Amino acid sequence: MTGRLAFAALAAGAAVHPLPAWRTPTGNISCFVTPAPHATLHCKLAHADYAAAMAKRCGPPVSLDWAGFELPAGGKARVACSGGILYDPATQKPRYETVAYGHTWHAGPFDCRSSFNGLNCNNHTGHGFFVSRQIWRTW
């Protein structure tokens, strides 16, 4: 088998596993979870009043393709900046579901409550964040 055929056979056999993911009814806020052993909730906003300040916080725009909020399973939430993919697209893909306002989404150690005023997410250690189009805070 040539190298090209062997690669195609391996790629064809690789299963794509869905990552838990959801978005608010407007689609402005979306989140997904990368799995253990370092399970992390990643959330971003399509439109936010503070987007420019957040981009500045991330530093010079050097191939920055993701800026948002991260909440590790056992730690404090933080503003996160990434110039790379946060999961392996060959074997993982977020499967988004829309969560109505007033409902809570659960995935592993994470709970996120969607409301008309914004999104409140927590991990099981009591850390979390609140984000909306106008403001954000972490704890």
Q: Which residue has the tokens 């990368």?
A: 34
Ordered alpha helix ranges (H), the chain: 3-13, 51-57
Assess if residue 5 is contained within a domain.
Answer: no
pLDDT at 6: 41
Name residue, tokens 């399970």: 39
Q: Let me know if residue 40 belongs to a domain.
A: yes
The token pair at 87 is: 């999961």
User: For the segment 73-128, what is each residue's pLDDT rounded down to a tens digit?
Assistant: 999 999 988 766 778 888 999 999 999 999 999 999 999 999 999 999 999 999 99
Domain contains 98 = yes
Strand bridging mode 92-98 / 104-107: unpaired
104 belongs to a structural domain: yes
Q: Please tell me the predicted confidence (pLDDT) of residue 13.
A: 57
Count: domains in the chain? 1
The tens digit of pLDDT for each residue in 35-77 reads 888 999 999 999 999 988 887 777 765 555 557 899 999 999 9
Q: Does 95 reside within a domain?
A: yes
**Strand-pair category, 29-34 with 17-23:** antiparallel
Q: 56 lies in a domain?
A: yes
**CA torsion sign, 87 to 93 to 98 to 104?**
negative
pTM value?
0.84
Domain that holds residue 95: 25-138
How many C-beta atoms lie closer than 10 Å to residue 121's C-beta? 24
Residue 26 has pLDDT above 50, yes or no: yes
